[in-house]
Amino acid sequence: MIDIKTQLKNVAFGGSWSEEILRVSELEDALEVIANAAHSCTETDVRTSELKDALGFVANKIEKGPLLSAQFLKAVVIEDQDARSHAAQAVLLQIKSWAGRQA
């Protein structure tokens, strides 16, 4: 992510397109962190600062983000492993959908 910020700073003509590139990159990074958490929540406690940052980004940048972020955090603490995995995957699909990404 730092590389993209640095590269865009060095672009002489800038503009709103460069900010959009950065936002899309940050969104993709956040979605990757959330997807990794959804995939590994059955074996580990995924409530890391990295996940919280990613969910915070989603909460601030997409419609329904605050609700979906809260739902994801609830999903990853469900006691039953199968139910936890299913719930986390379902919320991940909703987050991707609201973010305009293929599920």
What's the mean pLDDT in 77-99?
Answer: 96
- Spell 69-103 as b/e; 16+ CB within 10 A means b: bebbbebbeeeeeeebbebbbebbebbbebbeeee
pTM score > 0.85 for this model? Answer: no
The pLDDT of residue 21 is above 70? no
What's the mean pLDDT in 5-11?
Answer: 55
The pLDDT tens digits for 29-83 are 999 999 999 999 999 999 999 999 999 999 999 999 999 999 999 999 999 999 9
Q: Exposed, middle or buried, 39 (CB in 10 Å: 0-12/13-18/19+)? A: middle
Map residue 82 onto helix, strand or coil.
Answer: helix
Count how many domains the chain has.
1
What's the mean pLDDT in 78-93?
Answer: 97
Answer whether residue 22 is part of any domain: yes
Answer whether residue 26 is part of any domain: yes
Answer whether residue 11 is part of any domain: yes
Answer whether residue 103 is part of any domain: no
Domain that holds residue 84: 2-98
pLDDT at 1: 46
State the first-to-last Cα distance of the chain, in angstroms, to the nearest integer: 23
